[in-house]
């Protein structure tokens, strides 16, 4: 028999995309678990191009609200700006320095100019982009002299990575290309970027719902006997299963899957105010509580998801009552936050205080660290979070109808069957804001996942 040579990365990638296309966007696995049908890449690009039309239509009013006369985004070779795929077609950009400019042209509306190293037909559908590109420094200087913008918004000075992504060298390039007078008018585009990325558009909803369903499907399989064999499966085994499922499904993650393990008699190990992530060499045993924190990136959107399982002892058919009560406490916290405290227009600080007041009345030991979702797993917008509860710059932000959020929280409850040892029941679910509070994209967890 001939020895088979290892596949080169390029050949392996090519075979993957052949399989991807033949499967209609989702590869079959050996599991009988439910599948979520995802779009092929060409379909994804077409849908995202439609979203870009909508976003560009919203941009000029946003620029005027934030007094930005010109907004410039610079994409570096092999160092993409995190804004590029949301302000321009989601394609690879390989120019040494590609520049995208939005100009408030007054009565003429919004001008959109791309000064790129290479002409691309898709870009030319959204921007003024000649087939023989001109040097970007000439384009920038000409635009400044034509419009004399008073405030030129750039990606610096923000508190988050998406709002401070302009490199030092690109800043210098813009200043030299446009001149010292223009450089004196450079301002942080943070408020504009915040609104642009925090605004959800109707077309994203169905895709995001599918994304959350896929996140749920992989997590349920990871927390089942398909993957976990009590006494032999390690934390690392579960994590590697999830990585492999991401590959087989044709999506990626924006953070590594984390597992936490609680066990009767096990000392609690903390990290930054939370239960610490479990080492990969821990073997999962009967009686363990296993928690997964997992998120998927798909079509420029991120999910964030946490669920918990109990590994039954051989003589058990269900979880102890104390653990059921602990799960109910976390559900009560979700209800207080989502259904009673949250309303459009109410500030994040108000929501946090109302929720915690109710938890104190119910004598539930609760912790809230919810954050916006959407284009990024830790998105822009109001956070309902104990860590920012005292910061008025965060808590004064009002909730916006239609926004997406990660309802991330936990409760800590003493378990009688464990000698009153306290356990955390942690949950995280994407939700969207309606007039009557937050609503989950998928049903929440009310019962423990069981591993037999």
- Please list the residue range(s) of the chain that carry CATH number 3.90.230.10: 200-450
Enter the pTM of the model.
Answer: 0.90
User: Residue 202: which residues within 8 A CB-CB, separation 6 or more?
Assistant: none
For the structural domain made of 200-450, what CATH number should be given? Answer: 3.90.230.10
What is the C-alpha separation between 111 and 405, in angstroms, rounded?
33
The architecture of the domain spanning 41-197 is 3-Layer(aba) Sandwich (3.40)
What is the C-alpha separation between 403 and 201, in angstroms, rounded?
9
- Please list the residue range(s) of the chain that carry CATH number 3.40.350.10: 41-197
Residue-wise pLDDT tens for the chain (452 aa)? 433 333 333 333 343 333 333 333 443 333 433 478 899 999 999 999 999 999 999 999 999 999 999 999 999 999 999 999 999 999 999 999 999 999 999 999 999 999 999 999 999 999 999 999 999 999 999 999 999 999 999 999 999 999 999 999 999 999 999 999 999 999 999 999 999 999 999 999 999 999 999 999 999 999 999 999 999 999 999 999 999 999 999 999 999 999 999 999 999 999 888 899 999 999 999 999 999 999 999 999 999 999 999 999 999 999 999 999 999 999 999 999 999 999 999 999 999 999 999 999 999 999 999 999 999 999 999 999 998 776 666 668 899 999 999 999 999 999 999 999 999 999 999 999 999 999 999 999 999 999 99
Helix (H) or strand (E) holding 34, with range, is none
What is the C-alpha separation between 369 and 87, in angstroms, rounded?
29
Which tokens belong to 368?
Answer: 């809230």
What is the C-alpha separation between 102 and 112, in angstroms, rounded?
5
Q: Is the CB of residue 106 less than 8 Å from the CB of residue 112?
A: no
């Amino acid at each position: 028999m001939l020895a088979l040579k290892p596949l080169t990365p390029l050949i392996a990638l090519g075979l993957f995309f052949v399989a991807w296309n033949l499967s209609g966007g989702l590869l079959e696995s050996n599991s009988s678990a439910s599948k979520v049908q995802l779009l092929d890449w060409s379909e994804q690009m077409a849908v995202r191009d439609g979203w870009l039309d909508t976003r560009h239509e919203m941009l000029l009013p946003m620029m005027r609200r934030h007094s930005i006369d010109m907004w410039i985004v610079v994409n570096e070779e092999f160092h993409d700006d995190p804004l590029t795929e949301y302000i321009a077609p989601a394609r690879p950009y390989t120019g040494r320095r590609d520049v995208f400019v939005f100009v408030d042209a007054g009565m003429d509306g919004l001008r959109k100019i791309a000064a790129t190293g290479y002409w691309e037909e898709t870009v030319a559908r959204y921007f003024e982009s000649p087939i023989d590109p001109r040097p970007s420094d000439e384009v920038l200087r000409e635009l400044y002299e034509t419009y004399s913008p008073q405030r030129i918004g750039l990606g610096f000075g923000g508190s988050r990575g998406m709002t401070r992504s302009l490199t030092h060298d690109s800043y210098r390039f813009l200043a030299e290309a446009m001149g010292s007078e223009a450089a004196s008018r450079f301002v942080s585009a943070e408020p504009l970027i915040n609104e642009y990325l925090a605004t959800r558009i109707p077309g994203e909803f169905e895709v995001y719902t599918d994304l959350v369903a896929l996140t749920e499907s992989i997590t349920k399989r990871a927390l089942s006997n398909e993957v976990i064999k009590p006494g032999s499966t390690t934390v690392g085994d579960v994590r590697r299963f999830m990585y492999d499922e991401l590959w087989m499904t044709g999506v990626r993650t924006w953070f590594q899957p984390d597992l936490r393990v609680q066990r009767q008699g096990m000392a609690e190990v903390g990290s930054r105010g939370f239960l610490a992530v479990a080492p990969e060499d821990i073997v999962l045993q009967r009686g363990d509580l296993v928690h997964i924190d997992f998120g998927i990136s798909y079509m420029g959107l991120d999910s964030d998801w946490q669920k918990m399982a109990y590994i039954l002892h051989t003589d058990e058919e269900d979880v102890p009552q104390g653990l059921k009560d602990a799960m109910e406490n976390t559900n009560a916290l979700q209800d207080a936050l989502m259904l009673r405290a949250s309303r459009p227009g109410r500030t994040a600080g108000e929501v946090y205080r109302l929720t915690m007041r109710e938890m104190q009345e119910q004598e539930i030991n609760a912790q809230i660290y919810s954050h916006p979702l959407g284009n990024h797993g830790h998105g822009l917008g109001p956070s309902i979070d104990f860590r920012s509860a005292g910061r008025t710059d965060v808590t004064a932000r009002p909730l916006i109808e239609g926004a997406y959020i990660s309802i991330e929280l936990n409760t800590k409850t003493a378990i009688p069957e464990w000698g009153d040892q306290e356990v955390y029941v942690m949950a995280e679910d994407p939700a969207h804001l309606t007039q009557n509070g937050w609503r989950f994209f998928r049903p929440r967890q009310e019962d423990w996942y069981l591993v037999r």
